Amino acid sequence: MNAAASADLTPFYEPCADEATVFESAWKNRLPLLIKGPTGCGKTRFVAHMAAKLGLPLFTVACHDDLTAADLVGRHLIGDGQTVWCDGPLTRAVRAGGICYLDEVVEARKDTTVVLHPLADDRRLLPIDRTGELLAAPPSFMLVVSYNPGYQNLLKGMKPSTRQRFVSLRFDFPTAEREAAILRRETGCDADLARRLAGIAAALRQLRDHDLEEVASTRLLVYAALLVGDGMDPVLACRSAIVESLTDDPEVAEALMEVVSATFGR
């Protein structure tokens, strides 16, 4: 594949600072990486972008409360009268020498994430107890995890013994100018709409830790821009794609809509 074709397959990501340099250096030095930041700020897109840039297969796991170590490592399955071992995504990533990305890792049970420890230090090993294998990660393998610090509490925080195995990056929402550029690149919307949507997001983010559990993400702005591009009224698009996704409280929703209406002169 030539360089131009490869670039076309690389997911778009607008760099903010030195995050790509940190990621690539961590990969070269066989270090695991932790990315922390709010929902919808580009963590997953960044990992996909870097995997494509480095030419590595990407294995993504959306973590949740019921995720078990077997879901990551693998299990025996019965089919056609036989018992067959089936690798989990973590094992497949190790065997392929790719990137294993655990999204929202703190959602998984702590007894599940302990399986990461021997992979996330200088051993770089994955023991598979049920098959007796001890897989050594090849040089190209990388472990990447992410979480949203805003959701952390005593029950859903990362254990210090796990956190200190990782190089860390902190993500946040982009500046209004950069966010407008992202919207134009992602949706093809005009500069005026991109500027207005970025302004709405900036205003709503001022309410962080006050009336909203979550603030407007770049992802929601992309949704709104796509609806407007399909011919929907901008105010209605913002209500459907942004406001109603942020709150179930009718009074809070109307307060947010005042920001939207003012932005579009209604």
Segment 44-87, tens digit of pLDDT: 999 999 999 999 999 999 999 899 999 999 998 887 778 889 99
**pLDDT band at residue 17 under the 50/70/90 scheme:** confident
Residue 186 has pLDDT above 70, yes or no: yes
Choose the weakest-confidence range: 8-22, 79-93, 101-115, 146-160: 146-160
Choose the weakest-confidence range: 31-40, 72-81, 156-165: 156-165
* DSSP H helices in 74-217: 89-96, 110-113, 160-163, 176-187, 191-205
Q: Residue 146 has what DSSP assignment?
A: E
Helix (H, G, I), strand (E, B) or coil at 67: coil
pTM (two decimals): 0.86
Residue 159 pLDDT: 78
Q: Which residues pair with 83 in a beta bridge?
A: 78
User: Mean pLDDT throughout 220-243?
Assistant: 97
Give me the architecture of the 3-170 domain, per CATH.
3-Layer(aba) Sandwich (3.40)
- Phi, then psi, of 208 in degrees rounded to 5: -55, 135
Element of type H or E holding 135: strand 133-136
